[in-house]
Structure 1
Amino acid sequence: MQDTPSPRPIGPYAIIAAVLLLLIGGFAWAAGWIGPKRLSGGDVADALEHNTGAPQPGYRRAHSKGLCLIGDFVANGAGAALSKASIFAKGDYPVFGRFSLAGGNPLASDGRNVFRSMALILRTPDHQEWRTGMNHTEIFPVADPQSFVELQRASTPDPKTGKPDPAVMKAYLARHPETKAFQDYIKQAVLPNSFGNATYYSINAFRFTNATGEERFVRWQMVPETAVEGLDKAKLDSLPRDYLFKEMVARTAKGPSRWHLIVVVANPGDVTNKATVAWTGPHKTLDVGTLTVSKVETEEVGNCRDVNFDPTVLPAGMAPSDDPLLAARAKVYSTSFDRRAGEKPGPSAIGQDLNARESAR
């Protein structure tokens, strides 16, 4: 009977080579050199610039028209049941941020049925930081970065008509019923007549972890103490160009505006990876504190212009969900920041107007 030769043991050099190949392969995949092409922040920024018609040097590629805000957040301690983040410990914490409108044209009219947005940076004495960017709608028109790029291209205005090509947009909507559903939603939704009376939504889901290690998916809302009043959508064309920004300046001069931070806890089965899907029906909610905006400033003198409101900058106890838009937002915000950092800063539309009035005094 012939002996079967024993297999040779794998030598240390072969193991090292295998590990190196694995590391190189992983790096190449992460870099996008192999596997399906993944969008970069530059791809999304390019699509935004394409939609606008030309980049506006010195301005954000999205939400380019904005106003700085300053205030504080008073946590009531209830949020500690959901997250160990220091911002939810009972106390008073400084806040700064930005009100803005969707779009890449800083001189665009406020008479558009587009996102009103609030971006914030909240900091605690132990050097934790929470950055968040919220819109006044509960849902978003797309669920993933590729769809967002496709939407920017499909909705790019034709230079001859000033409107998107109907055939191109129709073909896009046929492939993306979620965008059509958003269009129907925003047509019916109230369009706030002030930044100060709008509810702002996280839109994306996040994961909270408390001190005992319990994890929950959540979304949140900034709910104003002032009742919302809506604009007449049939008369948006007659709205003064900077109506919303001037209104917020005048409102704040009379007194602060306040919102309650309401955290909504996901139910079993709630979708956490698609910002196009609203959570419906009864949910557990917690009022975890009050945001007060006591001052607004133009971007020329405020501290919000040269800031990246990346929503994935989170304190311990808070983490992104599996929503692919979150990683994409981080990438494109970074790209937009880098591009405008190399350009001469430009004044906001509202800033030009206010500065002219100040000079005339």
Structure 2
Amino acid sequence: MTDERQESRPPVRTTGRWVAIGVIVAAVAAVFGYVGGWLAPERLTPKRIVDELQSTGGEHPGFRRNHAKGICVTGRFESNGALAAFSTARLFAPGNTPFVGRLAIPGGNPYAPDGSIPIRSFALRFDLADGEQWRTGMNAMPVFPVTTPKAFYDLTVATHPDPATGKPDPEKAKAFFGAHPETGPFLAWIKSAKPSASYATETYRSINAFYLRDAGGQRRAVRWQVVPEQGPEGDGGAAAGDADFLAADLMKRLGQGPLRWHLQMIFADPGDPVDDATKVWPDGRKLVDAGTVVVDAAEAQAAGPCRDVNYDPMILPRGIEPSDDPLLPARSSTYADSFLRRTSEEAHVPGTAHPKEARP
């Protein structure tokens, strides 16, 4: 596997390539966080990683430190009951469950052009009938670049833009990737990744693995994805001259009717890596279509229902459990730090008569 990953890495030839990689690294930082104490004695805490995100995205009080630009969506999950045999979560029993979601682009700048980053994200909070919740943050990418919090922190340092040039130091980036062959699948993906022209046509993946537990106590490792019923349109490029085309496209599509994605659970085979987000599972794994995610409406995040939601991936109902992937508790702690910052800044959002209506 190591040799295959090394062969898949694109050659390093231009500073421009490292600039692009730096942008992507900043973009996927929302699927990573830091748990304090993991690198004692120099403790790398959630505060430090969020500080790094903030320094990259700029000062935008009241906004998320990553995935700052987005739009709220609401709808329901229509379960077909097919997953009920594998999980006791009431979400998977036949019937409907409401959700509050958010579609977004990565990065800490809420005014960034939609075409600046070739990743879109889809976060969901399902409100189960028994009072439990399931929160998940998914991304339109197949793998994560590194396996551990330590490696990710080193990656952010190696690709942080130099204040003098505004670009990553190509030698630092080259040294990091040369020392981390596990980044090969990620580098191969971003080599050809392009910004999509619509939130509605993306497939969003959990990337990290989790477990489903059934009524008999049996536990099975899974990853999930939501696959659109809406087929791709156009060439997948950004709309010419429009920096905010994603929200406009979404509203136009919703004006013609609800948007639908199929929630699919992919089951690991014995030996498949469950704690390594840099590795894909081979094709042909057992797949169960659990039902349909239906988006009925969307509204601006400033006063929308997703504004105050922390899409912590460790908030799980009974019947879904975290794997031992070290990125999961790290994501949770960093999301919490970012949430506390932006909510405490509510009264400091400039240029608004009613600050609460301005906070995302």
Cα distance in 2 for partners of 1:183, 1:193 equals 22
TM-aligned CA deviation for residue 329 of structure 1: 0.4
Cα distance in 2 for partners of 1:157, 1:87 equals 43
Q: Which of 284, 287, 305 is 1:285 aligned to?
A: 287
Residue of structure 2 in register with 1:359 after alignment: none
Q: Which of 175, 181, 185 is 1:181 aligned to?
A: 185
The CA deviation string for residues 128-150 of structure 1, in whole angstroms up to 9 with x for no partner, is 11000000112112222222222
Q: Is the 8 A contact 1:77 1:90 kept in 2?
A: yes
Cα distance in 2 for partners of 1:33, 1:139 equals 23
The CA deviation string for residues 225-252 of structure 1, in whole angstroms up to 9 with x for no partner, is 011346456xx59551111122112211
Shifted more, 249-258 versus 224-233: the winner is 224-233
* Structure-to-structure mapping, 1:326-345, within 5 angstroms: 326-344=328-346
Q: Which amino acid aligns with 1:201?
A: R
Q: Is the 8 A contact 1:70 1:96 kept in 2?
A: yes
Cα distance in 2 for partners of 1:162, 1:270 equals 40
Please state whether the residue corresponding to 2:335 is helix, strand or coil: helix
Residue of structure 2 in register with 1:131 after alignment: 135
Residue of structure 1 in register with 2:91 after alignment: 87
The CA deviation string for residues 80-112 of structure 1, in whole angstroms up to 9 with x for no partner, is 121111100111111111000011111111112
Structure 2 residue 73 is matched with structure 1 residue 101:
no
Residue of structure 1 in register with 2:48 after alignment: 43
* Structure-to-structure mapping, 1:150-229, within 5 angstroms: 150-189=154-193, 191-229=195-233
* Structure-to-structure mapping, 1:9-24, within 5 angstroms: none
Shifted more, 139-148 versus 195-204: the winner is 139-148
Structure 2 residue 126 is matched with structure 1 residue 122:
yes
- How many pairs does the alignment contain? 316
* Structure-to-structure mapping, 1:241-256, within 5 angstroms: 241-256=243-258
Q: Which amino acid aligns with 2:262?
A: H
Please state whether the residue corresponding to 2:329 is helix, strand or coil: helix
- Compared with structure 1, are the counterparts of its residues 126 and 275 closer, same or farther at alpha carbon in structure 2 (3 Å cutoff)? same
Please state whether the residue corresponding to 2:116 is helix, strand or coil: coil
Q: Which amino acid aligns with 2:88?
A: K
Cα distance in 2 for partners of 1:260, 1:130 equals 17
Residue of structure 1 in register with 2:318 after alignment: 316
The structure that has the greater radius of gyration is 1
Cα distance in 2 for partners of 1:231, 1:41 equals 39
Give the alignment's TM-score, normalised by structure 1. 0.82
Residue of structure 2 in register with 1:272 after alignment: 274
Residue of structure 1 in register with 2:15 after alignment: none
Give the alignment's TM-score, normalised by structure 2. 0.82
Mind listing any 5+ residue stretches in structure 1 that lack a counterpart?
A: 1-29, 348-354, 356-361
- Compared with structure 1, are the counterparts of its residues 87 and 201 closer, same or farther at alpha carbon in structure 2 (3 Å cutoff)? same
Shifted more, 330-339 versus 123-132: the winner is 123-132
Q: Is the 8 A contact 1:83 1:209 kept in 2?
A: yes
The CA deviation string for residues 310-354 of structure 1, in whole angstroms up to 9 with x for no partner, is 00000001111010110000000000001111113759xxxxxxx
The CA deviation string for residues 281-320 of structure 1, in whole angstroms up to 9 with x for no partner, is 3110000110100100001221111110000000001111
Cα distance in 1 for partners of 2:266, 2:184 equals 26
Between the aligned residues of both structures, percent identity stands at: 45
Superposed CA RMSD: 2.3
Q: Is the 8 A contact 2:103 2:121 kept in 1?
A: yes
Cα distance in 1 for partners of 2:288, 2:303 equals 36
Q: Is the 8 A contact 1:190 1:231 kept in 2?
A: no
Q: Which amino acid aligns with 1:67?
A: I
TM-aligned CA deviation for residue 164 of structure 1: 1.5
TM-aligned CA deviation for residue 213 of structure 1: 0.9
TM-aligned CA deviation for residue 34 of structure 1: 10
Q: Which amino acid aligns with 2:205?
A: Y
Cα distance in 1 for partners of 2:141, 2:80 equals 26
Q: Is the 8 A contact 2:120 2:139 kept in 1?
A: yes
The CA deviation string for residues 9-33 of structure 1, in whole angstroms up to 9 with x for no partner, is xxxxxxxxxxxxxxxxxxxxx9749
- Compared with structure 1, are the counterparts of its residues 72 and 268 closer, same or farther at alpha carbon in structure 2 (3 Å cutoff)? same
Structure 2 residue 61 is matched with structure 1 residue 57:
yes
Cα distance in 2 for partners of 1:180, 1:105 equals 28
Please state whether the residue corresponding to 1:187 is helix, strand or coil: helix
TM-aligned CA deviation for residue 36 of structure 1: 6.0
Cα distance in 2 for partners of 1:33, 1:110 equals 35
Cα distance in 2 for partners of 1:230, 1:128 equals 40
